[in-house]
Structure 1
Amino acid sequence: MSIQLPGTDRAETERLREKIATTLERARARTAGLTALDEAELVAQHSRIMSPLVWDLAHIGNQEELWLVRDVGGREPVRADIDQLYDAFKHARADRPALPLLNPQEARAYVGTVREKVWDVLERSPLRGNELVSDGFAFGMIAQHEQQHDETMLATHQLRTGEAVLSAPPAPAARVRVSGEVVIPAGEFVMGTDTDPWALDNERPAHPVHVPGFAIDAAPITNEQYLAFLADGGYERPELWSERGWAHRAEAGLVSPQFWEQDGGGHWWRRVFGTMQQLRPQQPVVHVCWFEAEAYANWAGKRLPTEAEWEKAARFDPATARTRRYPWGDADPDDSLANLGQAHLEPADVGAYPSGASPAGVHQLIGDVWEWTASGFDPYPGFHAFPYREYSEVFYGGDYRVLRGGSFGADQVASRGTFRNWDHPIRRQIFSGFRLARDLRSDER
């Protein structure tokens, strides 16, 4: 029987309960598809920087048990004996294959048992009251956690060798031509959020930020644009790279974006989840690290946008002086607005989602590729860690750069205009790209 707090609207609570159930089911269906492999594939470590897929699977269940079954539901543990195995802070990814992990059959049974208990917890929760359950926050947090691990598992699929096991229709071609820059005038806007009920702690609190005027690319940098950098010797010119970036380029042997290969005829191809595909010129470039993006920006005579610039371009409506949830408004994304949720296994061409553009005319800020920014990962003024320090606080001030906007592998539940991702500047197995910005000239201000 559903529990209802006095004074709350029953229909509203049931709509929220239905939204939570749909969001959890969507995540679990995706997890099942990503782990529908034979045992050898699931227990293998396809890269030392990634976990075996079976670890991610059981970790998803363990986090769901800890937060929803035990904390929200107050139930007895399902498997308290495995908590240490699936604590991401206890064991480095490279060491996880040697742990006594649940095998695929055990892992599937475990996550299934946990989910059955979660359905009962959801049915009985008033979804009101303390901070953890109010507006279904804990359920939304767990759905985001699962979708983030689904994107991580998707990256593992990209790193594995062998025949393709995933399929999806090609991403859309351009519907409109998008090029050039958009000028964002100087002024204050509200960064972050206090109103999105499932926003995570690093997105909070909302706070005013004054941003000087700047120009930002109307679209992410494309394969065609990146090829021009490559052809101009971008990877052989140390003056384009920072000292750290050039050292990493040399140590890692970087000569092009990850998964690119050139054939004997000089044509470039990209390995995409087990298949070789010729580069689509107007797709946003993907699988580049921050140092590569920085070098390209130097070559182009521009720079990466700051995190505040990116968010202002994505959320601020100059006509109303209002900060919106998404570039297109406050409505949740659908397939006419953004390339999300693994609907396609690649970025869409620039110009494929004109309805998703911001009021200023900046396109494809949500979906397609995570976009590197110039900013390190730091707390907003007045930050409060919730519900645990290890989600954000322990990463602040480290060697990280913020990425914004989500990718084709990100789900809508974890790709708001305020959502913050972060990673080391050397990482490029993630679905990362970038767009450029620059300061305004005096005649443009």
Structure 2
Amino acid sequence: MTTRPDSRPHSADTDDLRSRIAAVLTRARDRTRALTDCLDDTELMAQHSRIMSPLVWDLAHIGSQEELWLVRDVGGRDPLRPDLDDMYDAFKHARSDRPALPLLDPAAARGYAATVRDKALDVLDHSRLSGNALERDGFAFAMIAQHEQQHDETMLATHQLRAGAAALTAPPAPRGEYRGPVEITVPAGPFAMGTDTDPWALDNERPAHVVDVPAFAIDAVPVTNARFLEFIADGGYQRPELWTERGWAHRTAEGITAPRFWERDTDGTWWRRRFGTTAAVRPQQPVVHVSWFEADAFARWAGRRLPTEAEWEKAARFDPAAGRSRRFPWGDDDPTPDRANLGQRHLEPADVGAYPAGASPLGVQQLIGDVWEWTSSEFHGYPGFAAFPYREYSEVFFGGDYRVLRGGSFGTDEVACRGTFRNWDHPIRRQIFSGFRCARTLPERR
């Protein structure tokens, strides 16, 4: 067995960073346990949807990735379970095929993940958190924390798809009432998109580059259930002229007539199933569980369009007074509960207007948390993109059938959410916690 000597630096800054890394790793693991300990072994081993893995696969996969990157790569330690590498490689087995694999049972998966975590924390305790690019500023540890939180959000989506009684609980999301302008004007001009300075940003967020964006207007808040109900009432799902050709074909083939998990009662009341419970649709919540095709059709119906990725980021990050891009709409400080609905504190979006402290300098609200927001942009690398530390995180998806989503959802942890963070998915996807806001091009001034 090969181990590194104790070379831990004795500086307050490094010790603070080490404590912060340990905290984000622990927060992720606590959430993983909460999402899996609430179900019996049969439910953990079951596949609740063909587009999702059994929860027990996610649990062991989290441990496998942590072993590969932290125990073996950063720590230089001998492999713990090399026999698991292939089975828990996400690129070698499609989700639909994973139930047929000889997966670790829940007890073994938990034990494996716990053993890996003990080793990883020992590696953290001895890491310089400097030197090569993987260790510098704790990047590899932060990458693994983000990876686990991303799988936690995927597991949360699996909970939404499973049948049966509720297994998760959380207080209701805040209510609010937005009374500001319908849209916000974002002036024309260049801004710095992406980042070179955030040490935990992932490869597709880099490098920072200047983008000159024409003037546009963007919705001050996400599209609400009430507004989407107007689209439904006006025949939005029955009017092919509002849809792309592919979108209409998909809508027709799947018989889609409302956001996923919505049902209409005989008296006309709309209900939404949420994590094993059913409640009337809350009018002022952002609409959630809509595909890109649905969002695009709504935008056409409203005489608008979806924002480009650059427009979304400029609305979220650019501070005209300072002439610079912020880390978050409210500034560079980390999210707090009064700024954004993140981290599964609630199991639903908050009403629009519930987070005025999270507004951007121009007054755009709820850009972070609540719902992932579809943009019109396809997923590509930025100019000068370099894959790091592996192509399979981002690069292999460039140019495929993906649209970019921004901003995070109520199920996204703050470690995996910032103004530069990029998510992507197929335009048909509706199981994710996706919503949107609209934009429109403004006429050029002469």
What band does the TM-score fall into relative to the shorter chain? Answer: over 0.9
1:13 to 2:14 alignment: yes
Match of 1:3 in 2: 7
| Mapping 1:360-439, distance limit 5 Å | 360-439=362-441
Measure, in 2, the Cα distance between the counterparts of 1:265 and 1:175: 26
Residue segments in structure 2 that go unaligned for 5+ positions in a row:
none
1:174–1:352 CA contact under 8 A, matched in 2: yes
Measure, in 1, the Cα distance between the counterparts of 2:40 and 2:383: 48
1:407–1:431 CA contact under 8 A, matched in 2: yes
1:175–1:353 CA contact under 8 A, matched in 2: no
TM-score normalised by structure 2 residue count: 0.98
Match of 1:110 in 2: 112
Letter in 2 for 1:420: R
Deviation at 1:364, TM superposition (A): 0.2
Deviation at 1:409, TM superposition (A): 0.2
Match of 1:258 in 2: 260
Deviations 1:196-218 (Å, cap 9, x if unpaired)? 00000000000000000000000
2:221–2:366 CA contact under 8 A, matched in 1: yes
Measure, in 2, the Cα distance between the counterparts of 1:361 and 1:353: 11
Deviation at 1:441, TM superposition (A): 2.9
Residue segments in structure 1 that go unaligned for 5+ positions in a row:
none
Match of 1:322 in 2: 324
Which residue of 227, 230, 234 maps to 1:228? 230
2:215–2:444 CA contact under 8 A, matched in 1: no
Which residue of 81, 84, 93 maps to 1:82? 84
Q: CA RMSD in A?
A: 1.1
Deviations 1:101-143 (Å, cap 9, x if unpaired)? 0000000000000000011100000100000000000000000
Deviation at 1:179, TM superposition (A): 4.4
Measure, in 2, the Cα distance between the counterparts of 1:442 and 1:203: 30
| Mapping 1:161-240, distance limit 5 Å | 161-174=163-176, 176-240=178-242
Deviations 1:168-194 (Å, cap 9, x if unpaired)? 000001165344000000000000000
1:57 to 2:59 alignment: yes
Deviation at 1:264, TM superposition (A): 1.3
TM-score normalised by structure 1 residue count: 0.98
Match of 2:142 in 1: 140
| Mapping 1:27-46, distance limit 5 Å | 27-36=28-37, 37-46=39-48
Match of 2:354 in 1: 352
Measure, in 1, the Cα distance between the counterparts of 2:253 and 2:50: 17
Deviation at 1:4, TM superposition (A): 3.8
Deviation at 1:322, TM superposition (A): 1.0
Measure, in 2, the Cα distance between the counterparts of 1:195 and 1:224: 40
Q: Give 4+ residue runs of structure 1 displaced > 4 Å after superposition.
A: none
| Mapping 1:281-296, distance limit 5 Å | 281-296=283-298
1:3–1:123 CA contact under 8 A, matched in 2: no
1:189–1:208 CA contact under 8 A, matched in 2: yes
Letter in 2 for 1:134: R
Identify if the C-alpha distance between structure 1 residues 346 and 178 changes in structure 2 by more than 3 Å, giving closer, same or farther. farther
Measure, in 2, the Cα distance between the counterparts of 1:4 and 1:80: 28
Identify if the C-alpha distance between structure 1 residues 360 and 132 changes in structure 2 by more than 3 Å, giving closer, same or farther. same
Match of 1:22 in 2: 23
Identify if the C-alpha distance between structure 1 residues 250 and 116 changes in structure 2 by more than 3 Å, giving closer, same or farther. same
Deviations 1:387-433 (Å, cap 9, x if unpaired)? 00000000000000000000000000111000000000000100000
Identity of aligned residues (%): 72
Deviations 1:365-387 (Å, cap 9, x if unpaired)? 00000000000000000000000
Q: How many residues align?
A: 441
Measure, in 2, the Cα distance between the counterparts of 1:415 and 1:284: 18
Measure, in 2, the Cα distance between the counterparts of 1:403 and 1:257: 17
Measure, in 1, the Cα distance between the counterparts of 2:177 and 2:130: 44
Which residue of 277, 281, 293 maps to 2:279? 277
